[in-house]
Structure 1
Amino acid sequence: MNIPKIQIQSTPARIGLDIQKPVQEIRQPKANLDIQQPQAKMTIQTTQSKLTIDGYEARESMGYKTSISRTREIAQQSKQDVLEGIARRAEEGQELMRIENGGNPIAEQAKRRGRQPYSSLNIKFIPQAGSVKINFEPGTVDIQIEPQKAIINSTINKPIHNYTPGKVKVEMLQYPSLKIDWLV
């Protein structure tokens, strides 16, 4: 016996998509910033300190002379020492010039120069206590500072936003179909 048969043939649908992606661009410009810091106002007022030292009595009690007379004595002694030094060097030069006469002038000069008399380091007299008069007047310092506030000017810039929306294009590449057949 022949049983009828159904034969079904289908073709699926095919869709094609053409997609353009969206483009978004965001930029944030920096803020405009202007900061100024004025200098602080400062005033300083001072009075000088004063120190006086009177050592006249101490020098007198030790037998010292005034600085003017002492300076004159030292200048005279220095002049005398210079003249003696010049004479000694001239004499030593003359001895060296006559080296052909015999003897050993370099060694003899070294012996003379090498022997120097010892000096005494004793303290002979101490000045009286309280003979140096010291007076000190301290100075003063007055500092006044007036701070200045900072000047800040800022401008905010809005963000720059560009947006291009995306597109989707749909097209039917293949339409669906259904074919039904009877077979007997």
Structure 2
Amino acid sequence: MLLPQIRMESQMAKIAISTTPGKQSIKQPKADIDLQPAKVAMEINRTPGKLTIDQTKAWEDRNLADTFRFIEKIAEEGYQAWLEGIARLAEQGDELMKIENGGSPLADQAKENSESPMYEVNVGWIPSLFSVKFDYEPGNLDINWHLKKAEFRAIPNKPVIHYDRGRVDIKIAQYQKLKIDFANLTFKGQNFEMNI
């Protein structure tokens, strides 16, 4: 006995996809740079040194000082000699007041007053040691720098971007299909029979 059969054949649908990738290019132009260097100034202040030589004492030692200074020196020496004379006379007067104490003050004073004083002998044209005075004021040097900042300016440039969009194409490569077939199938009706 043959059994009825249903036969089905199916075909799946197929999709075809093709892609074109996107392309991107980026170019970065260099920045524009403006650099203005600043001038540097240097200021120099100089005070020269000063050397002072005082020979007044050396000239005085040689008796070659100026007239006013020479008169002043002689007057000072005379005043000093006068004071020493007064002191000597006062001392001798005190000795005479005490004559009763003994001794021979009159003879001693006569001898002392009759002796000539001891003078200091020196070569007249050689001044004394260290009679020339030196004074030195050192100079000064000031250096000042006036620094200024350099002017720097950078102007950035925007990047250049170019983009080609990608594409996706979708197509149906194969359509779906369904085939149905019957085998050994009979239809029985009244007074007839039919194969389907």
Question: Which AA in structure 2 matches 1:139?
Answer: G
Shift of 1:48: 2.8
2:179 matched to 1:160?
no
Residues 6 and 140 of structure 1: CA distance in aligned 2, closer, same or farther (over 3 Å)? same
Distance 1:4 1:37, change over 3 A: same
**1:10 offset after TM fit, Å?**
1.4
Q: For the residues of structure 2 that align with 1:17 and 1:134, how far apart are their CA atoms?
A: 110
Higher Cα Rg, which structure: 2
Identity %: 40
Q: Secondary structure at the match of 1:172?
A: strand
Aligned length: 111
Change (3 A) 1:47 1:180: same
Deviation (angstroms), 1:162 = 0.4
Q: Secondary structure at the match of 2:162?
A: strand
AA aligned opposite 1:46: R
CA distance in structure 1 between the aligned counterparts of 2:182 and 2:131, rounded to whole angstroms: 149
- TM-score scaled to structure 2, two decimals? 0.47
Q: Which runs of 4+ in 1 moved over 6 A?
A: none
> What's 2:27 paired with?
27
CA drift at 1:9: 1.3
Q: CA 1:183–1:130 in structure 2 vs 1: closer, same or farther (change >3 Å)?
A: farther
1:141-164 residue CA offsets vs partner (Å, 9 max, x unmatched): 223332212212222211101011
User: Which structure would you say has the larger RCO, counting Cα contacts within 8 Å and 6 or more residues apart?
Assistant: 1
CA pair 19-129 structure 1, distance change in 2 beyond 3 A: farther
Deviation at 1:176, TM superposition (A): 1.5
**Partner of 2:76 in structure 1?**
none
CA gap of 1:41–1:7, structure 2 versus 1, over 3 A, is same
Change (3 A) 1:139 1:177: same
Shift of 1:171: 2.2
How far apart, in 1, do the equivalents of 2:165 and 2:179 lie?
42
TM-score with structure 1 setting the length:
0.50
